[in-house]
A and B are shown apart, each in its own frame.
Chain A
Amino acid sequence: MRGELHFDVVVIGVGTAGLTAGTRLAEGGARVCVVAKGVGSTHLAPGTIDVLGYGPDRVEQPARALQELIAAQPEHPYSLLGAERVEEALEWFRATAAGGPFEGYTYLGGLDRNHLLPTAVGVLRPSALIPETMAAGDGESRVCVVGTPPLRDFHASLCAANLFQAGVPARSVQLKVEGQRADANALGLARTFDDAQRRAAFCADLSLHLRGEDRVGLPAVLGLDDPHGVWRDLEHRLGRPVFEIPTLPPSVPGMRLFEILRSAFRRAGGRLVLGSEVVAAERSDARVTAVRARAAGGEMRYVAPWIVLASGGFASGAIELDSRWVTSDRVLGLPLHGVPEAGQPRFVEPYLGDHPMARAGVAVDGELRAEGCENVLVVGASLPGAEPWREGSGEGIALASGFRAAEVVLSSERAAAEAPA
């Protein structure tokens, strides 16, 4: 054991849910420390805020579908949170992004209607709140999808062919980017697009290949320093709307999303400890009194009256299903909910099917408090009852639950302060 540090709230996990909770808490005046073993899922996801994409049919109006889901699935995280909270969280995020580190880079949309954006394989995917750089992907006019050889996992021809099948007139162009290494990923290309000269050369070349298309779709590589400027510059040079199509990881728009939230958290005065895995929790009755996290040379003890668990679900390794079919919360050892009983089906036949096991998560009450642990609030993919990758709901749940957890902590503290001694 090394030393110890005290905070008002310790947040475990640095994904969208953890950073949202941390930022809201710090904005509310709490001393917050976010501890995480590594960077979260932001860098792997498309950077859009998907609230509800499928229910199970494709959702056109998330606001309405949300009401239906809440009525039909009382155990779903959205049912604990309520549609209004989702709306508030989106509102907050839109403002946070607009005031964030990337000048002019805004998020568009809300719960009124889902945008339909092409994926890298040309399937139209519904999303509620999207970066402005993707907005022109939503439409039925003629598209030219542009690929580049070094980005081996982005096949412009496949994307265009599938879009064509879906009724969007599309064709593809494959274009070299000058000075690009042979095996660049999206991040390498984004650095290239940050460079005005190479961007101009690319546009000049691309202009020769464009015909009468109304829009140009590019893999999501339009810069990491100044995405708004890069995107505007491309639209200007190509003389038509340009949009980004999310790629395989690393996700450039996802990295921007992380940076928006991280910088908001830092601006609000929060402390971030990265690389430090939480390995143990100290408990006293129905409370977690401290968490211990790995540091160089020993463990650090983080003591706080409130803990927010934002460590993610199975994908992050925070919830585990071992070879003896035992599921557990590896971080704080809290009870789970939604784990199929012995003898009940855990998984179903189709790989992308509705697996009962996928809905397992840390058991909570209506205020996101962990079962049997009144000072731990559970957010994001740690929550039970949802299947984000089927529903297209991951970021919506993360944002709204992070938002809600902060509200619970701050209002409890306010009530305690106002209560007569």
Chain B
Amino acid sequence: MTETGLQDLVRGSLDHCVKCTICETACPVSNVTPLFPGPKYVGPQAERFRVGDEPSVEWSVDYCSGCGICTQVCPQEVKIAEINAHARGKLKRQEGVPLRDRIITRPTVLGRLGTPVAPVANLALRLRPARILAEKLLSVHRDAPVPKFAGHRFSRWARKRTSPKSERRIVYFHGCGTEYYEPWEGQKVVAVLEHNGYEVEVPKQDCCGLPLQSSGLFDDARKVVLRLARALAPYVRDGNTIIVGNATSCTLMLKREAREILGLEDDPDLKLVSERTYDICELLDELHDRGELRTDFQPVPETIAYHAPCQQQGHWIGKPALELFRLIPELEVREMTARCCGIAGTYGLKAEKYEIAMDVGRPLFEQVGASGATTVACDSETCRWQITHATDRPSVHPIDLLHRAYGL
């Protein structure tokens, strides 16, 4: 399918909109700010006024956080979030891209620069004057949650070791969050997979392009995601091996968003990678369904809150993490029902959007506060950083709890 063909498919879905407003009931952003009039208005309605190469007349689409909940709840299969993403891409081409958006959307560059000088970089990122300066120069909000560089890369650790040989091979896509900021999460993923009899292979890999895509830098995003697809595809051509990732927004990018939003439906490598990529909890849940997951779990006598991030919900598989938590003895889980933490990747870092993001997340932060939970489990790293920033509660990937319960 050509790029235009696919975009027509996305755009064409707007004719299915019956203006029922169900997307508006679910939109986390329009419910807290008048700057974003809502997915129905900005999506299927305003799209009718966006004609070919003519300049866009509607700017509020830039306040869409791209969480994708509108598409998920739409009973008429309108690709609302995807329409909005296209509109934002067009707007950015028309209006130009701020320097900030060119910087914060490149986790690989930031990670490579920050890792060797981690102590200094981490200090600078927490120095008030430096943050005020960054806000003035780059419009990155002074209070926005920024992660700490770990100072060592996950891939270094992975390269130094060999996974025990096994019939069942699996490819691990760790993403940038694990690579530069939370390498220990990756080590836990590997340990849990090996405990379940997998031989884990960690190919050389890079960013999935999601931050670029969600800021409307489509051309750059295409290059980046295709580079990743080329790197991963050779490992799964045997028709048997699968790819698993713990960064749920990055696995969603590979599975669906790059194909739908960036118009890459035709790329054979991306298609293959898309079909063979699993979210880690999705995989373990399916293993359990088949009776292949080890369940030698020790009790974890704790109360935790679980928040399923919007991007995890975009996999359209329910909440497999909750099914896995049920297997852990004595673990009390409070399912959060508030929809979104607000951060949406890089949205909540932006000076003009930070307050909106915090308002979006407030119901969730209040639920976490009232839950009596000591820890928050959540599948997406940027959401975890935002939740910890707002609630002062530690947050972990669900795999963390499984790792603990296995006693690894």
Contact = CB atoms under 8 A, between A and B. Distances in A.
Contacts of B274: 297-298
Contacts of A249: 20-22
A187 B256 contact: no
Q: Which of B26, B72, B317, B319 has the most CB of A within 10 A?
A: B317
A255 B282 CA distance: 29
A297 B20 contact: no
Q: Which of A38, A181, A276 has the most CB of B within 10 A?
A: A38
B371 interface: no
A277 B77 contact: yes
A276 B316 contact: yes
B60 interface: no
Nearest to A225: B363
Contacts, number: 104
Interface in A36-84: 37-40, 43-44
Contacts of B318: 33, 271-274
A209 interface: no
Given A5-B285, A37-B77, A295 B22 contact: no
A296 B256 contact: yes
B323 interface: yes
A41 to B, nearest CB: 8
Contacts of B45: none
A382 B317 CA distance: 24
A4 B319 CA distance: 15
B22 A250 contact: yes
A239 interface: no
B266 to A, nearest CB: 16
B316 A295 contact: yes
B200 interface: no
Given A4-B286, A296-B252, A250 B74 contact: no
Given A294-B316, A296-B255, A191 B73 contact: no
Contact of A38 (B77, B254, B282, B323): B77
Given A44-B20, A297-B274, A276 B75 contact: no
Contact of B317 (A39, A277, A300, A316): A300
Contact of A5 (B252, B286, B313, B316): B286
Contact of A297 (B21, B256, B285, B313): B256
Contacts of A44: 20-22
A185 interface: yes
Contacts of A271: 318-319, 323
Nearest to A262: B337
A297 B256 CA distance: 6
Interface in A2-50: 2-6, 33, 37-40, 43-44
Contacts of B22: 38-39, 43-44, 249-250
A6 B25 contact: no
Interface string B241-282: 000000000001011100000000000000000111110001
B314 A275 contact: yes
B75 A316 contact: yes
Contacts of A266: 335
A317 interface: yes
Nearest to B286: A3
Nearest to A252: B25
A341 interface: no
B238 interface: no
Interface in A197-250: 249-250
Contacts of B101: none
Contacts of B72: 38, 274-275
A77 to B, nearest CB: 22
A188 interface: yes
Interface string B3-47: 000000000000000001110111000010010010000000000
B115 interface: no
A360 to B, nearest CB: 20
A187 B26 CA distance: 10
A183 interface: yes
Contacts of A185: 21, 24
Contacts of B252: 296
Contacts of A316: 75
B71 interface: yes
B76 interface: yes
Contacts of A187: 24-25, 31
B90 interface: no
Q: Which of B20, B252, B256, B278 has the most CB of A within 10 A?
A: B20
Given A38-B75, A38-B76, A44-B22, A274 B286 contact: no
A44 B21 CA distance: 8
B86 interface: no
Contacts of B289: 3-6
A15 to B, nearest CB: 9
Contacts of A4: 286, 289
Nearest to A276: B316
Nearest to B32: A191
B94 to A, nearest CB: 26
Contact of B275 (A250, A298, A317): A298
A68 B260 CA distance: 54
Contacts of B323: 271
B315 interface: yes
Interface in B93-129: none
Interface in A256-276: 263, 266, 271-276
User: Nearest 7 A-B pairs (CB), nearest first?
Assistant: A297-B255, A38-B75, A275-B72, A296-B256, A273-B318, A296-B255, A3-B286
Given A3-B278, A38-B74, A297-B275, 11 more contacts: A38-B72, A39-B26, A39-B73, A43-B20, A185-B21, A187-B24, A188-B31, A271-B319, A273-B317, A294-B316, A296-B255
Interface of A: 2-6, 33, 37-40, 43-44, 181, 183, 185, 187-188, 191, 249-250, 255, 263, 266, 271-277, 293-298, 300, 316-317
26 contacts: A2-B275, A3-B278, A5-B285, A37-B75, A37-B77, A38-B73, A38-B75, A39-B73, A43-B21, A43-B22, A185-B24, A187-B24, A249-B20, A249-B22, A250-B22, A271-B319, A271-B323, A273-B316, A275-B73, A296-B255, A296-B256, A297-B254, A297-B274, A297-B276, A300-B316, A300-B317
